[in-house]
Amino acid sequence: MAERRLIEFLQKPEAYPEKPGSVRLVQTHISWVFIGDDYVYKVKKPVDFGFLDFTTLEKRRFYTHEELRLNRRFSPDVYLEVVPISEAGATYRFGDDTRIVEYALKMKRIDEARMLFTLLLQGRVSKDDMARVGRHLAGIYSGIASDEKSKTFGTIDVIATNVIENFDQTRTYIGGPISPEKFEAIETWSRDFLQKNTALFEGRIRNGHIKDCHGDLHLQHICMGHSDIFVFDCIEFNERFRYGDVASDVAFLSMDFDYNGQSVLGDAFVDAYIDASGDRDMRAVLLFYKVYRAYVRAKVTSFMLDDDGLDESRKKSALETARRYYDLAYGYVSNED
């Protein structure tokens, strides 16, 4: 009851200090997002999915502050502040810390029409654009230290755990979105790469490429301003999903271009990133991480097939999407030069 009252309050323009003309609510499985004229307020849902836990107010406070801190590395002008929401009699108010019931992350609203994925669908992304993104991200990652904590996430044991977990969690989908032959080929290739390239992964640690990264760097998390580039929605809720080789983040975006049939643009991004960062050794692990990222997307989409809350139409769409990601991963390992 209290949760519903709060959500109703947050949909009212007069609730906000800026008094926007309207407020639009967008929901994800972990957040309520309230979009006004100039600002966006994001409130975490009290959910526990195992890989994230927002079930208490203290946890939501902590992870909202983490989201602010981590995303400011990528877009300091977008991520503004954490605002408490308190009870005020029969209603609520922002900025009062006397009877706090929730926390909201306040962000500057960016132009949805300039999202990289939207521009790509419209055929409005050039190789020069992606070179600009590559140089921009190289500058950001150069400012992130590879400290002792980060380095632990680059060991062969940690990487192998993440990779093997994917296969263990998707065996049930063999014969559905992925064939037995493709599953075996991807798993065998991935395990063989890990086994044969211990020195390569150790070199990535030694040369400072294991960092506190973004973790979810794909087309829908980049906005191409006319003069600025905004990167958002870094993973804050699980360190294992965020820490790792910078090559894994670069591979994610490159893979997303491959998935959308625009490999030339992905190559332009990778080339520019490597030129600007000087990380020439990245190419030796890039394919491995593209396989990994494609497979993770396939896995997450496959989970939707078990969601009883989805109708048959959405499950059919999820099945096709998962199959395409599995096929992309298989294509990488079967077409390796």
Q: Please, what is the average pLDDT of the chain?
A: 96
Confidence class for position 6, pLDDT limits 50, 70, 90: very high
Query: For 31-62, what is each residue's pLDDT tens digit?
Result: 999 999 999 999 999 999 888 999 999 999 99
Of the candidates 18, 12, 66, the one whose C-alpha atom is nearest the C-alpha of residue 39 is: 18
Q: Is the pLDDT of residue 337 over 70?
A: no
What pLDDT sits at residue 35?
Answer: 98
The three-state (H, E, C) secondary structure of the chain, written as one string: CHHHHHHHHHCCHHHCCCCCCCCEEEECCCEEEEECCCEEEEEECCCECCCCECCCHHHHHHHHHHHHHHHCCCCCCCEEEEEEEEEECCEEEECCCCCEEEEEEEEECCCHHHEHHHHHHCCCCCHHHHHHHHHHHHHHHHCCCCCHHHHHHHCHHHHHHHHHHHHHHHHHHECCCECHHHHHHHHHHHHHHHHHCHHHHHHHHHCCCEEECCCCCCHHHEEECCCCEEECCCCCCCHHHHEEEHHHHHHHHHHHHHHCCCHHHHHHHHHHHHHHHCCHHHHHHHHHHHHHHHHHHHHHHHHHHHCCCCCHHHHHHHHHHHHHHHHHHHHHHHCCC
* pLDDT at site 1: 53
Question: What value does the mean pLDDT take over residues 151-171?
Answer: 97
Residues 75-103, mean pLDDT to the nearest whole number: 94
For the chain, give every domain's residue range: 2-109, 114-334
Report d(CA 232, CA 216) in Å as an integer. 9
Instruction: Tell me the C-alpha distance between 109 and 125, whole Å.
Output: 22
Q: What is the pLDDT of residue 22?
A: 97
Distances (CA, A) of 199 to 36, 180, 195, 202, 207: 51, 31, 10, 5, 12
| pLDDT given for residue 201 in this prediction | 98
Model pTM score? 0.94
Instruction: State the first-to-last Cα distance of the chain, in angstroms, to the nearest integer.
Output: 59
- The CATH class given to the 114-334 domain equals alpha beta
| Digit-coded pLDDT (tens) for 270-303 | 999 999 999 999 999 999 999 999 999 999 999 9
Convert the pLDDT of each residue in 197-254 to its tens digit.
Answer: 999 999 999 999 999 999 999 999 999 988 899 999 999 999 999 999 999 999 999 9
